[in-house]
Amino acid sequence: MARLFAATGDGIVRLDEANGSWTVEPSLEGSGAQCVAVDPRVPETVFAGLREHGVRRSEDGGRSWVDCELPEPGVFSLAVSAVDGSVYAGTEPSRLFASRDNGETWEALDALLDLASRPSWSFPPRPWTSHVRWVAPSPHEASLLLVGIELGGLMRSADGGRSWEDHRPGAQRDVHCLAWHPRVQGRAYEAGGGGAAFSVDGGETWRPADEGRDRHYTWALAVDPADPDLWYVSASTGPYAAHGRGEPQAHVYRRRGDEPWTALRGGLPEPLPAMPYVLVAAEERLFAGLSDGQLWESPDRGDTWAACRITGEGLTALHALALA
């Protein structure tokens, strides 16, 4: 049975699957949790990123938490390396930190701030600042990192963050989500404010992937763990539709190889009541988490969908989702 951890913007919720439904166990209520990451080597170890209070760590599957004392309070992204267990935290204002000891101590990877493009980094709703929206450590090489600045670009490091290559050719500058393929080395994926892109050379260069979508404001991203040519994005017509209080005008899309993107329906509400903020792909299973807390699942790679049955108190919002 599967286990998911959700960051709701208020706290962390652990969801455990049993007998066709999901039980809910909330924690860190009132903390402002924005993001969540699970150690792929030790699934009971979970990290939560808080909007104003740094990083918390749980070593018992989210039942208790300790403060990891990150030097910056505003955390927007978290990741744990599948290779060596390094923990990465991205903040606003844009800084990146790494911990090699499970969040006990932190190293500031401030070479990121030496990039020539840094003076142009600016998040439109708060133009005086920017943040590290996504951190993606390679699952194959401990020293290889991708970082997305919202809004600033897609940056790459081949030495664990000690030096950086500025925005990569062909990638979207307004980075929303990044992913690596877990089994095929060198394959990476991006969802950004102007469309989607992919890389076959370890993030050095990127190719656009937009044919077939009439919506180009892409947000969430997932890749099939068995097939590097099968991936998914959510997309809307623009930021106001995606994040406002009206109709999101959004779809979940699927792409196979060089085929155009296809909008997935098959049971999903039409129109979608909220923006798909999160996509998570497991073996033959695909989850879509909407911003209003709805959780949907497809057992057949997006052909058909059903709402996840949640027992107890449901989710009212969903910012991030991690599979344990």
What was the pLDDT predicted at 313?
A: 81
What is the Cα–Cα distance from 93 to 103, expressed in whole angstroms?
A: 20
What is the Cα–Cα distance from 232 to 218, expressed in whole angstroms?
A: 10
What was the pLDDT predicted at 101?
A: 97
pTM score: 0.96
Q: Cα 144–149–153 angle (5° rounding)?
A: 80
**How far is the CA of 103 from the CAs of 87, 88, 120, 128, 213, in angstroms?**
7, 9, 31, 29, 40
46, 135, 54, 149: which is closest to 94 by C-alpha? 149
Q: How far apart are the first and last CA of the chain?
A: 10
Q: What is the pLDDT along the chain (324 residues), one digit of tens a residue?
A: 799 999 999 999 999 999 889 999 999 999 999 999 999 999 999 999 999 999 999 999 999 999 999 999 999 999 999 999 999 999 999 999 999 999 999 999 999 999 999 999 999 999 999 999 999 999 999 999 999 999 999 999 999 999 999 999 999 999 999 999 999 999 999 999 999 999 999 999 999 999 999 999 999 999 999 999 999 999 999 999 999 988 999 999 999 999 999 999 999 998 999 999 999 999 889 999 999 999 999 999 999 999 999 998 889 999 999 999
CA dihedral sign, ordered 230, 9, 139, 65:
negative
What was the pLDDT predicted at 60?
A: 97
What was the pLDDT predicted at 245?
A: 82
**Residue 64 is part of which domain span?**
3-323
Domain total for the chain?
1
Instruction: Name the token pair of 252.
Output: 């979940």
What is the Cα–Cα distance from 286 to 99, expressed in whole angstroms?
A: 30
Beta bridge partners of 322: 5
In sequence order, the 6+-apart residues with CB closer than 8 A to the CB of 187 are: 180, 181, 198, 199, 200, 223, 228
What is the Cα–Cα distance from 62 to 7, expressed in whole angstroms?
A: 12
What is the Cα–Cα distance from 36 to 53, expressed in whole angstroms?
A: 14
Q: Where are the strands (E) in 81-127, listed by range? A: 87-91, 95-99, 107-108
What is the Cα–Cα distance from 72 to 53, expressed in whole angstroms?
A: 8
The CATH number covering residue 202 comes to 2.130.10.10
